[in-house]
Amino acid sequence: MKKLLLVTAVFAAAVTVFVVLTIPPRRLTLKPIGDGSLPGILHVHTSRSDGSRSPDDIAAAAARAGLKFVVFTDHGDGTRAPDAPAYRSGVLCLDGVEISTTGGHYIALDMPAAPYPLAGEPRDVVEDVRRLGGFGIAAHPDSPKIELRWREWTAPFDGIELLNPDTSWRLLAQERGLAAKRRLLTALIDYPFRPSETIASLVQPSGALYSWQALTARRRVVAIGGVDAHANLQWRSDPGDARAGIPLPGYEASFRMMSVHATLEREFSGNAAADAGILMRAIRGGHLYTAVDGVASPPAFEFMASNERGTVHEGDELAVGGPVTLRVRSNASPEFTTIVHDGMHALTTVRDPQDLTVHAPDKPAVYWVEIVSTGRPHPITWLRSNPIYVRGPEPLVREAARPASTVSRTIFDGSSIANWRAEHDATSLSAIDLAPIVGGHEIRFRYGLSGGSPAGQVAALVFDTPQGLEPNNRLTLVGRAERPMRVSVQLRGGNGEAAGERWQRSVFLDRVDQEKTVYFDDLMPVGATHTFKPALADIRSILFVVDTTNAKLGSSGRIWIQKAALER
């Protein structure tokens, strides 16, 4: 027994010495100066997906951490009706969703239940979230896990997650060499003693910063931080299994590590629905900054710009009109460095900058601020603002217009369905016929996907093209559906290496007839193909596909096509 006690004492002493030598310093306690913002957190998973606690438990943890709002973002396809905004433990709780696409994860906030599953190509999910009135955030764009990492930079998403602690430890774990592994192991040992500071010590710089800046030169993109809290540590993919991890880092520790500070148009009233609207207007407007509280807390920050056209704050646009005066006010530590950026160019870099005025020229620009924790171990961006956009009279982006078609070959004119047929898997059903309308007929396609487990359920309306599609470059159709839905327009090869290969572009069909044009050079491969774009001479079928990407198992419905033509 004495020997066991001795060994235990020696081990405890060794751990104590190790922790003393490696533990990150305590967070700095800053003087509160009050900036009118409200602290909260976004990107939180509950036990409804791969988190480990209920919304009530998580809200209680947020209250203990001093937060005023939490946005839940459980994994899903958008078809679950979100919980109504509610106060739990005095914290305003909003319910969003994190959607898996083929190009990474997308967070949707302030959106009603979708009428069909949101999935597939990221450009389609971004379009659907916007159509439904939601606000979309490109999630963890720096993640080393390809299933998680956002990769579609041409899609018009609304915001981007430039801070994500879950991504930071994954990046370290992917690094070669012992230094990164030693740092992670040290963090596991230090975590019980200073949890929030330990999480903050692992934060890595965002490589997506450059992409964000390139986008802001053309349009508004809200910069935001997401804690990505699960309290369920595992080598998660898309998404993980809540039963397979360990409950680290805890929700409260994560909430004390970072915060998003929203500047509201008016104070909360206590009415959850009304207050949720106030909060979402602040988020949509980019009236917020992100701070790493595990380094220094509580943060305070203000950023404004003035010229002859007026005065605005972060997230706002200011018209060009004379030299610009930028003012930054914060309670940053004297050790920290404030950098005022014009795009990726540092306009000024100053130490001890609690009240800073910068003069900028009379020109369009995107100004933003970061405050770096210089003077601390592993300096990081402690605080990042949203931009102030100084815009000129000319539009920043002109839509590239496709030339109008000059030749059209009708493949359905309201009279015949020759070369048209239906396909389906062995367990599903589909049928095609002509339905009478004023002045002729339209194609009526009926489908029913089988239920049960996913097993490749599919139904398709098919038009055969035995001579290929050259020299055409697009398909134009007029159609509608029984209920709002997405249909995958696909080209299928039939010759040589292209036999059976497919390329697709999804289109949205509503209850009323709408014209849709699908350009063949806009199609993407379905699975593995020997060419990235289809060789039109080898295409033998055009398919209008309903499958479980955007339809539920066991669902059925009807689609009508009034006109269809190949054009160039």
Cα–Cα distance measured from residue 304 to residue 301, given in angstroms and rounded to the nearest whole number: 10
Q: Is the pLDDT of residue 214 over 60?
A: yes
> Which DSSP symbol is given to 229?
B
pLDDT in tens, 360-376: 999 999 999 999 999 99
Nearest C-alpha neighbor of 470 from the set 567, 374, 562, 377:
567
Tokens 């993640």: give the residue: 143
Q: Residue 25 burial by CB count (10 A; 0-12/13-18/19+): exposed, middle or buried?
A: exposed
Tell me the mean pLDDT in the region 173-188: 91
Q: Is the pLDDT of residue 239 over 90?
A: no
48, 156, 325 from 364: Cα distances, Å: 46, 21, 13
pLDDT in tens, 482-503: 999 999 999 999 988 889 999 9
E strand or H helix that includes residue 313 = strand 310-313
Tell me the mean pLDDT in the region 306-317: 98
98: tokens are 């994190």
Inter-residue contact 298 to 326 (CB < 8 Å): no
Tell me the mean pLDDT in the region 163-189: 92
pLDDT in tens, 332-351: 999 999 999 999 999 999 99
pLDDT in tens, 82-122: 999 999 999 999 999 999 999 999 999 999 999 999 999 99
Inter-residue contact 48 to 230 (CB < 8 Å): no
Q: pLDDT-derived band of residue 132, with 50, 70 and 90 as boundaries? A: very high
Tell me the mean pLDDT in the region 118-145: 98
Tell me the mean pLDDT in the region 37-48: 98
Q: Residue 146 burial by CB count (10 A; 0-12/13-18/19+): exposed, middle or buried?
A: exposed
Q: pLDDT-derived band of residue 243, with 50, 70 and 90 as boundaries? A: low
Tokens 């815009």: give the residue: 391
* For the chain, percent of residues with pLDDT exceeding 90: 88
Nearest C-alpha neighbor of 372 from the set 345, 386, 344, 353:
353
Residues in the chain: 568
Compute the mean pLDDT over every residue in the chain, rounded to the nearest whole number. 94
Q: Is the pLDDT of residue 353 over 60?
A: yes
Question: Domain spanning 300-392 has what CATH number?
Answer: 2.60.40.10
pLDDT at 401: 85
Q: Which of 262-276, 400-414, 546-560 has the lowest mean pLDDT?
A: 400-414
Cα–Cα distance measured from residue 267 to residue 35, given in angstroms and rounded to the nearest whole number: 13
pLDDT at 497: 81
pLDDT at 11: 47
pLDDT at 240: 59
408-567 CATH, one of 2.60.120.430, 2.60.40.1220, 3.40.50.1000, 2.40.30.60? 2.60.120.430
Q: pLDDT-derived band of residue 235, with 50, 70 and 90 as boundaries? A: low
Dihedral sign for Cα 233, 236, 241, 242, please.
positive
Q: pLDDT-derived band of residue 245, with 50, 70 and 90 as boundaries? A: low
Q: Which amino acid is at 104?
A: G
Q: Is the pLDDT of residue 264 over 60?
A: yes
Q: pLDDT-derived band of residue 18, with 50, 70 and 90 as boundaries? A: very low
37: tokens are 């913002």
Cα–Cα distance measured from residue 449 to residue 367, given in angstroms and rounded to the nearest whole number: 52
Q: Is the pLDDT of residue 510 over 50?
A: yes
Instruction: Indicate the domain borders of the chain.
Output: 300-392, 408-567
Q: What is the DSSP string of 450-505?
A: --SS-S--EEEEEEE-TT--TT--EEEEEEEESSSEEEEEEEEE-SGGGTT-EEEE
Give the pTM. Answer: 0.94
Indicate the angle between helix axes 2-22 and 178-190, nearest 10 degrees: 110
pLDDT in tens, 433-474: 999 999 899 999 999 999 999 999 999 999 999 999 999 999
Other C-beta atoms lying within 10 Å of the C-beta of residue 216: 21
pLDDT at 52: 95
1, 42, 279, 430, 508 from 546: Cα distances, Å: 70, 34, 38, 10, 12
